[in-house]
């Protein structure tokens, strides 16, 4: 029996939003928007930097470094948020007039995550006065201590949840620090360093630095393309503040003002910058950037974002595109292995475990997070995928969770019950990473399953696909599709509208290996519309026919400069 239910969200339809039609008013009210002001994405509505704890101390530290010509090393992370954070920090400090700034990104396969003592040792060879971490550092207790012991100052900028012990860094800026009053706890790492650089510019302006040095004061909005990319790619919740950052970045890209690297990545991803939406950053640009950190070295991705030479950016983007194709092949093979394991663990919805723990000695540790995501999407259960680490004695895992189960809390509970069973762990509500010694793998698997079962006891595992209800026959228009695409950024916590309705299948054929390409007619209308359901034959034996109920997104298909209406179908019943 299928446990997928298609249900319309409740809306305050009795109180339509002024200035919006029936559909848009319903969509926004279902997402908690009761005032059109919440959809004003002008920069004047951005939360001020002063709300972040220690932001002034960070600004003083970096302003003094700029004016003194200090040596700064940025230590980044190996995902798209880390890459954009790193590129933004380097670009800003150079624009402020600091010449001696460089970056360092741990190779995930050699050094793991964050500011480790080993990375400090590598940084020390450059003799920096200050190490600045971006998108990491809040859990780097030993690394910060090692840097300070060598006489370096450390500024930690991060957005991850702190553990029990907080590093003794000179300054820490993190909206999730205990007691921090910044109204948006959902900033990505790139959002945090953007705010820090806003404060640094203000401090330098106050000191008269730009006027005295003959340096043109940078317009900080020029970096919002990087902020938008990192925010969307890191799948943080798009609260109002993040939506402002993303929408402003998207507008810059649409106006042809993106940095060369983002332009190049859009080109190799076959995306039209003039019509870009947040989903293009999430599905076309982010994965190509992430491929470097997953399979190779994220420095390749950062160099793409740092160059101002479009020809050079295109060359690097082509390299990243090639890495992404390789990543897809690796992922596809691992996914098939994973689904074979899943089939052995459960024969139907009622026999599914509380969490799938999937491990294989042949898997690539840089891709396990993607496999966990794919299996979670299909099974609607939390998933942990694991692969061997670099040595023979360690396994590394990446977990993805479902709504209502905070996966880092699950790991924290396990750690409390079985201290030392995991050598390290960290993450968010929906995603987490961990390491386990090989000798403890079986014990760990059993303990994780037990803890998850206890924390989900009595839970209804039925999966609800929430929709924005049906569209009327006269609402299947290009105008509405474009309005949905351009009016606001969609993403985590502010989901892209999904509609549902009944259609007659006029034509159905297979494209690719398992995708269903359909020609549909709404049962209450005459218009025929194209639709596509990716992976339909992965879970169905035959193409749909007759009258179906579909949950879908209204989209615009762009093919050879021709635009047409298309339904992106998520579920068919």
Max CA pair span of the chain? 75
Best-predicted range by mean pLDDT among 59-68, 388-397, 530-539?
59-68
Q: Residue 109: which pLDDT band, with cuts at 50, 70 and 90?
A: low
Q: Rounded to an integer, what is the distance from CA 47 to the centroid of its chain?
A: 21
Residue 296 shares a structural domain with residue 317:
yes
Residue 208 shares a structural domain with residue 90:
yes
Yes or no: say if 385 and 368 are a contact pair by the CB < 8 Å rule: yes
d(CA 416, CA 336): 34
Residue 441 shares a structural domain with residue 479:
no
Residue 289 shares a structural domain with residue 364:
no
Residue 132 shares a structural domain with residue 244:
yes
Q: Tens digit of pLDDT for each residue in 396-426?
A: 999 999 989 999 999 999 999 999 999 988 8
d(CA 441, CA 433): 15
Q: Give the 3-state secondary structure of residue 338.
A: helix
Q: Whole-prediction pTM value?
A: 0.93
Residue 11 lies in a domain: no
Residue 508 shares a structural domain with residue 523:
yes
Q: Tens digit of pLDDT for each residue in 165-184?
A: 999 999 999 999 999 999 99
Q: Give the 3-state secondary structure of residue 468.
A: coil
d(CA 178, CA 175): 9
Mean pLDDT of 300-327: 97
Q: Could you give the number of structural domains in the chain?
A: 3
Sign of CA dihedral 97, 101, 102, 105: negative
Residue 37 lies in a domain: no
Residue 415 shares a structural domain with residue 522:
no
Q: Residue 2: which pLDDT band, with cuts at 50, 70 and 90?
A: very low
Phi then psi for 354, rounded to 5 degrees? -70, -25
Residue 155 shares a structural domain with residue 252:
yes
Examine the fold and report which residue of 461, 486, 510 is the final residue of a domain before the chain moves on: 461
Q: Residue 12: which pLDDT band, with cuts at 50, 70 and 90?
A: low
Cβ-count burial 435-472 (b if 16+ within 10 Å, e if not): bbbeebbeebbebbbebbeebbeeeeeebeeebbbebe
Residue 302 lies in a domain: yes
Residue 26 lies in a domain: no
Residue 314 lies in a domain: yes
Residue 563 sits in a domain of what CATH number?
A: 2.40.50.460
Residue 364 shares a structural domain with residue 234:
no
Residue 27 lies in a domain: no
d(CA 513, CA 163): 45
Examine the fold and report which residue of 435, 461, 487 is the final residue of a domain before the chain moves on: 461
* Token pair in block for residue 93: 């400090």
Q: Give the 3-state secondary structure of residue 170.
A: coil
Closest to 522 measured CA to CA, from 470, 450, 463, 460: 470
The domain containing residue 103 runs over which residues?
44-322
Q: Tens digit of pLDDT for each residue in 17-28?
A: 888 999 999 999
Residue 310 shares a structural domain with residue 364:
no
Residue 184 lies in a domain: yes
With 0-12 / 13-18 / 19 or more C-beta atoms within 10 angstroms meaning exposed / middle / buried, residue 1 is exposed
Cβ-count burial 299-337 (b if 16+ within 10 Å, e if not): bbbbbbbbbeeeebbbebbebbbebbeebeebbeebbeb
Residue 241 shares a structural domain with residue 381:
no
Q: How far is CA 25 from CA 39, 207, 476, in A?
A: 12, 47, 16
Residue 106 sits in a domain of what CATH number?
A: 3.90.1640.30
Residue 529 lies in a domain: yes
Residue 150 shares a structural domain with residue 234:
yes
Q: Rounded to an integer, what is the distance from CA 506 to the centroid of its chain?
A: 37
pLDDT at 296 over 90: no
Residue 389 sits in a domain of what CATH number?
A: 3.10.310.30
- Which residues are paired to 387 by β-bridges? 396
pLDDT at 104 over 60: yes
Sign of CA dihedral 92, 94, 97, 98: positive
Examine the fold and report which residue of 443, 461, 479 is the final residue of a domain before the chain moves on: 461
């Amino acid at each position: 029996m299928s446990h997928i239910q298609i249900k319309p969200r409740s809306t305050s339809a009795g109180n339509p939003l002024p200035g919006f039609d029936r559909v848009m008013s319903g969509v926004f009210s279902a997402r908690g928007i009761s005032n059109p002001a919440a959809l004003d994405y002008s920069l004047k509505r951005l939360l001020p930097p002063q709300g972040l704890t220690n932001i002034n101390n960070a600004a003083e530290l970096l302003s003094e470094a700029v004016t003194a010509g200090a040596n700064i090393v940025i230590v980044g992370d190996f995902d798209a948020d880390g890459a954009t954070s790193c590129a933004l920090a380097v670009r800003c400090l150079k624009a402020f007039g600091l010449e001696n700034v460089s970056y360092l990104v741990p190779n995930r396969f050699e050094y793991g995550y964050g500011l480790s003592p080993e990375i400090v040792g590598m940084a020390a060879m450059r003799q920096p006065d200050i190490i600045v971490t971006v998108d990491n550092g809040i859990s780097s207790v030993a690394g910060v201590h090692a840097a300070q012991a060598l006489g370096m100052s450390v500024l930690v900028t991060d957005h991850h949840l702190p553990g029990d012990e907080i590093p003794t860094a000179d300054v820490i800026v993190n909206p999730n620090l205990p007691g921090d009053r910044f109204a948006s706890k959902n900033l990505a790492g790139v959002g945090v360093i953007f705010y820090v650089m806003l404060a640094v510019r203000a401090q330098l302006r106050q000191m008269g630095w730009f006027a005295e040095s003959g340096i043109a004061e940078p317009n900080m909005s020029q970096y919002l393309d990087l902020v938008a990319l990192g925010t969307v790619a890191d799948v943080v919740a798009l609260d109002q503040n993040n939506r402002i950052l993303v929408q402003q970045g998207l507008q810059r890209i649409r106006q042809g003002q993106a940095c060369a690297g983002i332009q190049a990545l859009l080109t190799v991803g076959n995306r039209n910058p003039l019509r870009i939406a947040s989903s293009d950053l999430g599905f076309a640009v982010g994965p190509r950037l992430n491929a470097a950190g997953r399979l190779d070295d994220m420095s390749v991705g950062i160099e793409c974002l740092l160059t101002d030479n479009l020809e050079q950016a295109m060359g690097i983007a082509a390299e990243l595109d090639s890495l992404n194709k390789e990543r897809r092949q690796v992922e596809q093979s691992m996914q098939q292995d994973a689904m074979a394991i899943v089939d052995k663990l459960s024969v139907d919805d009622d026999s599914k475990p509380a969490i799938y723990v999937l491990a294989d000695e042949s898997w690539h540790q840089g891709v396990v997070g993607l496999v966990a995501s794919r299996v979670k999407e299909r099974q609607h259960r939390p998933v942990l995928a694991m692969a061997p680490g670099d040595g023979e004695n360690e396994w590394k895992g990446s977990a993805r969770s479902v709504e209502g189960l905070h996966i880092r809390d699950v790991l924290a509970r396990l750690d409390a019950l079985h201290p030392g069973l995991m050598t390290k762990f960290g993450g968010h509500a929906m995603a987490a990473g961990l390491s386990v010694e090989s000798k403890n793998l079986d014990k760990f698997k059993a303990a994780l399953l037990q803890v998850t079962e206890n924390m989900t006891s009595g839970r209804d595992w039925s999966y609800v696909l929430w929709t924005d209800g049906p569209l009327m026959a006269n609402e299947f228009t290009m105008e509405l599709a474009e309005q949905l695409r351009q009016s606001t950024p969609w993403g985590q916590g502010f989901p892209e509208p999904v509609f549902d309705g009944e259609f007659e299948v006029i034509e159905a054929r297979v494209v690719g290996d398992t995708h269903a390409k359909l020609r549909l007619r709404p049962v209450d209308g005459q218009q025929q519309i194209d639709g596509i359901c990716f992976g339909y034959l992965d879970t169905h034996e035959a193409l749909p026919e007759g009258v179906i109920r579909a949950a879908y997104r209204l989209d615009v298909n762009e093919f050879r400069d021709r635009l047409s209406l298309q339904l992106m179908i998520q579920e068919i019943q």
